[in-house]
Structure 1
Amino acid sequence: MTVDNLLTIYVPLLGWTLVGWVCGRLLPPTVPALLGKFLFWVGVPISIFAFLRHAQLTAALWLAPVVAWAAILLGAGLAWWLGQRSQHYARFCDRPFSHQTQGSFLLASMLGNTGYIGYPVALALVGPQYFAWTLFYDLLGSTLGSYGLGVAIAAHFGSKTTDATQPSSKKHWRPWQAVATIIKNPALWSFGLGLAYRDAPMPPLLENSLRGVAWFVVALSLVLMGMRLSQLSSFKHVKPALLSVGIKMLLVPLLLGMVLWALGLSGLVYRTIVLQMAMPPAFATLVLAEAYELDQELTVTALVVGCLGLVLLLPFWLWLCSGNP
């Protein structure tokens, strides 16, 4: 690990995020929503298609979603085990341990932001050649986990109120809704098109323009992250947030990273997967917390702590992976 490695990711990561934070404070609140829709439907699909044209594809790529699901289930298992010891949890966190709190705690411990943050980090610290590993991890792991298992968990814990006499307006989960959400995700469609037309010839001007747009989308993704962070106003309950982020960004990647190292995984592939496992909690956790009336204060705090934690933990992960050539 060198200073150049850190500057390669810190300058764009912090710089574009700061630009987004300032814009989020100055521009109308409708702008982040419009930018998010543009990236979701147009920008991110284009970048996926473009970067896949230069990615190395091997049969071993299926290891990425397998590890992603292992990380999701391990994070959920550790959070559930800790949540069962509600008395110890409440004593440490200085707050009651409700079903809504446990649901948010589970989601923040298992779902990572392997898209809007994971893509730029992987491209800067690993390179476009191994971007397919990031895509397989994100689309077949994190995305399916968020809108499949994540929705089921949010609905389960959101349906248990602390006061049975109070009416609830929350949504109820239906399996077909999760399937429809996944199928309609344009990133998955562009992922398939990118694989199908990966070797198709393309004029140099179009190829270069496509790559330029793809890198511009990466910058816009970081700007959007900054905008969303500028809109977060509740930063309470730091202790439980630290616990969930510790599970998600430190304990899970350490445990699974040792397993992968023991199995012989090494090099830039190892770095790619470890970095994806170490990403902060996904913004999808806030979407689910709002939709199913979970503990939104804990979710918001975990998002902020996770983004700050990424800046502090990146040197550690680079150092760890540098010893695995």
Structure 2
Amino acid sequence: MNLIAIYAPLIGLVLLGLILGRYLPKVVATRVGQFLFWVGVPISIVAFLRQADLSGQVWIAPAIAWIAMILGVVFAAIGIHFRRYVQTNAIPWRRPTQGSFLLAAMVGNTGYLGYPITLAIAGTQYFGFALFYDLLGTTLGAYGLGVAMAARFGGSVHNYRELAQAILINPSLWSFGFGFFFRQVPLQASAAAILQGSAWTMVALSLVLIGMRLSQLHSWHSLPRASASLLIKMLLVPLILGSSLSLLGINGVTRLVLVLQTAMPPAFATLVIAEAYDLDRDLAVTALAVGTIGILFLLPMWIYLFGN
């Protein structure tokens, strides 16, 4: 597998975003994010669904996603309690810090980063696994279980009716339903080419957006705590699940795609939730930044271990 062909666009587009983010007003990144959320990502989902294989084992992806999130929360909780016994004189973490630690170990960036990496490594045929993992796993987990934990550890309970409404109006979920039926509609070659070109443009723009947002993150005070959560999220949980998938008869590229989604760094949703529920924002920011850089170093290992 040509890692240079994979890394060149990933690193190049993120670096472009870093440069743009330092010179453009912050509102530009906000507008780009809103455009991708409401228009760009839905277009990509509809386009790539036309070529994705949705038969056979694809429906196991959401189950793997939920198992990964639950494992992340369990191991993170064990780590928090184990620290009390190892470091007897250590100052106990505040509840907001515990909440951010749990979120960072649970919710991965399976959309804006997981989609491009899956497409670059496995192609559009296996996009369905990444899509089901993200929409029916990560998205529901972040704004369901994730928000419930944030409300508990942040000491504030928001309007759960508004939460349910935010999930229901998520354009990615609606575009998934539309794209599922639209994939049966024949298109002329020119129209199909325009749709695919638009989808790949949105993928590139999502990587640029990651760089723009990373350029605005400047907190490194919580590096030890963030590193501990990333060891759980990006190393321990993927190793356990990747080694266990063979027992379920899942091997080859399918297993690699699921492991990669499991190993994604913390999602931007963790920062959004941390800010909304008064959790430890510094920890959320640091985990997000370090994790996004770390996936570049871990990617070859996952390909070597599970890409056969």
TM-score (norm 2): 0.97
CA contact (8 A) 1:86 1:97 kept: no
Task: Give the corresponding residue for 1:291.
Answer: 276
Instruction: Select 1:15's aligned residue among 12, 16, 21.
Output: 12
Describe the superposition over 1:73-115 as per-residue Cα deviations: whole angstroms up to 9, x where unpaired.
00001101111234257679x7641101100000000000000
Deviation at 1:116, TM superposition (A): 0.4
Moved more, 94-103 or 9-18: 94-103
* Residue type at the aligned position of 1:12: P
CA contact (8 A) 2:229 2:287 kept: yes
Instruction: Select 1:310's aligned residue among 277, 284, 295.
Output: 295
Counterparts of 2:185 and 2:303, CA distance in 1: 35
Deviation at 1:308, TM superposition (A): 1.6
Corresponding residue pairs, total: 308
Determine whether 1:112 maps to 2:77: no
Describe the superposition over 1:12-64 as per-residue Cα deviations: whole angstroms up to 9, x where unpaired.
11100000010000001110000000000001000100000011111422100
Counterparts of 2:42 and 2:106, CA distance in 1: 25
Q: Give the CA RMSD over aligned residues.
A: 1.5
CA contact (8 A) 1:23 1:227 kept: yes
Describe the superposition over 1:153-182 as per-residue Cα deviations: whole angstroms up to 9, x where unpaired.
1110000xxxxxxxxxxx523432322111
Counterparts of 1:246 and 1:318, CA distance in 2: 18
Determine whether 1:261 maps to 2:258: no
Counterparts of 1:235 and 1:227, CA distance in 2: 18
Task: Give the corresponding residue for 1:241.
Answer: 226
CA contact (8 A) 2:242 2:306 kept: no
Counterparts of 1:91 and 1:38, CA distance in 2: 49
Task: Give the corresponding residue for 1:164.
Answer: none
Task: Give the corresponding residue for 2:210.
Answer: 225
Describe the superposition over 1:200-238 as per-residue Cα deviations: whole angstroms up to 9, x where unpaired.
111111110000000000000000000000001111121
User: CA 1:89/1:118 → structure 2, altered by over 3 Å: closer, same or farther?
Assistant: farther
Counterparts of 2:53 and 2:222, CA distance in 1: 43
Deviating above 4 A after TM superposition, structure 1's stretches of 4 or more consecutive aligned residues are 88-92
Counterparts of 2:115 and 2:33, CA distance in 1: 16
Counterparts of 1:34 and 1:199, CA distance in 2: 33
User: CA 1:304/1:91 → structure 2, altered by over 3 Å: closer, same or farther?
Assistant: farther
Determine whether 1:71 maps to 2:83: no
CA contact (8 A) 1:89 1:97 kept: no
Deviation at 1:192, TM superposition (A): 0.5
Instruction: Select 2:182's aligned residue among 191, 197, 204.
Output: 197
Counterparts of 1:234 and 1:100, CA distance in 2: 17
Counterparts of 1:96 and 1:227, CA distance in 2: 34
Deviation at 1:9, TM superposition (A): 1.9
* Residue type at the aligned position of 2:125: Q
Identity %: 53
TM-score (norm 1): 0.92
Counterparts of 1:95 and 1:258, CA distance in 2: 36
* Residue type at the aligned position of 1:36: G
Counterparts of 1:308 and 1:96, CA distance in 2: 29
CA contact (8 A) 1:113 1:280 kept: yes
Counterparts of 1:95 and 1:104, CA distance in 2: 17
User: CA 1:221/1:89 → structure 2, altered by over 3 Å: closer, same or farther?
Assistant: farther
Task: Give the corresponding residue for 2:40.
Answer: 43
